[in-house]
Amino acid sequence: MQSRTHHCNELRLSDAGKEVILCGWLENERKVSKNLSFVLLRDFYGVTQFVFETEDMIEKLEGVNKESTLRITGIVRERENKNPNIDTGEIEVVPTEVEILGKCIYNALPFEIRQSKEADENFRLKYRYLDLRNPLVKDKIVLRSRIVSEIRQRMNALSFLEITTPILTCSSPEGARDYLVPSRNHPGKFYALPQAPQQFKQILMASGFDRYFQIAPCFRDEDARADRSPGEFYQLDMEMAFASQEDVFAVIEEVLPPVFEKFGIYEKASKAPFTRIPYLEALEKYGTDKPDLRIDLTVQDVTEVLSKTEFGPFADSVIKAVVTNGYKATRKEIDKMCADVEVETANKAFWFRMDENGDFVGGISKFLDVVKEEIIERLGLKPGDFVGVCAGDKNAATKTSGVIRRMLGMASEGHFDKEQYSFCWIVDFPMYEIGEESGELEFCHNPFSMPQGGMKALTEQKPLEILAYQYDLVCNGVELSSGAVRNHDPEIMVKAFELVGLGEEDVKAKFPAMYNAFCYGAPPHAGIAPGVDRMVMLLAGEDSIREVIPFPMNKQAMDIMMGAPAAVEKKQLDEVHISIIEEE
The structural domains of the chain, with segments of one domain joined by +, span 13-102, 114-267+524-584, 295-411
Mean pLDDT (whole number) for 189-207? 95
pLDDT at residue 7, rounded to an integer: 97
Q: How far is CA 412 from its chain centroid? A: 26
Residues 184 and 191: their CA atoms lie apart, in Å, by 11
> Which of these, 155, 165, 6, lies nearest to 75 by C-alpha position?
6
| pLDDT confidence band for 566 (50 / 70 / 90) | very high
Average pLDDT over residues 8-34: 96
- The CA distance from 511 to 202, in Å, is 12
pLDDT attached to residue 58: 95
CATH class of segment(s) 295-411 = alpha beta
Model confidence pLDDT, tens digit, residues 232-277: 999 999 999 999 999 999 999 999 999 999 999 999 999 999 999 9
Q: What is the mean pLDDT of residues 411-424?
A: 96
pLDDT classification of 437: cutoffs 50, 70, 90: confident
Give the dihedral of Cα atoms 115, 119, 124, 127; nearest 10 deg: -70
Residue 41: enclosing H or E segment and its boundaries?
Answer: strand 36-42
By the 10 Å C-beta count (0-12 exposed, 13-18 middle, 19+ buried), 112 is classed as middle
Of the candidate ranges 20-24, 128-132, 433-437, 531-535, the one whose mean pLDDT is the lowest: 433-437
Residue 327 has a CB neighbour count (10 Å cut-off) of: 25
- Three-class secondary structure of residue 343 per DSSP: helix
List the strands of the sheet with 470-475, edge to edge: 161-162, 211-220, 231-241, 525-528, 478-485, 470-475, 423-427, 275-278
Q: Which numeric CATH code is attached to 114-267+524-584?
A: 3.30.930.10
Q: Over 60: is that where the pLDDT of 171 sits?
A: yes
Would you state the pLDDT for residue 446? 82
**Residue 284 in this model has a pLDDT that exceeds 90:** yes
Q: Is the peptide bond before 451 cis (omega within 30 degrees of 0)?
A: no
What is 45-94 written as a DSSP string?
A: S-EEEEEE-SHHHHHTTTTPPTT-EEEEEEEEEE-SS--TTSTTTTEEEE
- Domain 114-267+524-584 and domain 295-411 have a common topology: no
pLDDT at position 1 over 60: no
Best CA proximity match to 399, nearest among 412, 411, 390, 386: 390
Rg of the chain taking only CA atoms, in angstroms: 30
What tens digit of pLDDT does each residue of 528-550 get?
999 999 999 999 999 999 999 99
User: What is the model's pLDDT at position 173?
Assistant: 63
> What average pLDDT does range 384-390 have in this prediction?
97
Q: Is the pLDDT of residue 106 over 60?
A: yes
- What average pLDDT does range 136-144 have in this prediction? 97
Peptide bond into 273 cis (omega under 30): yes
The mean predicted confidence, pLDDT, of the chain is 95
Q: CA 185: distance to chain centroid? A: 38
Cβ contact 530:256 at 8 Å: yes
Q: Which residues have C-beta within 8 Å of that of residue 79, sequence separation ≥ 6?
A: 49, 89, 90, 91, 92
pLDDT exceeds 80 at position 226: no
Predicted model pTM? 0.92
pLDDT band at 175 (very low <50, low <70, confident <90, very high): low
User: Is residue 230 very low, low, confident or very high in pLDDT (cuts 50, 70, 90)?
Assistant: confident
Q: What percent of the chain has pLDDT over 70?
A: 99
Q: Is the pLDDT of residue 87 over 60?
A: yes
Q: What percent of the chain has pLDDT over 90?
A: 91
DSSP string, 107-163: SS-SS-GGGGGGS-HHHHHHTHHHHTTSHHHHHHHHHHHHHHHHHHHHHHHTTPEE-
**Residue 565 buriedness (CB in 10 A; 0-12 / 13-18 / 19+):** exposed
Q: Does domain 13-102 sit in CATH 2.40.50.140?
A: yes
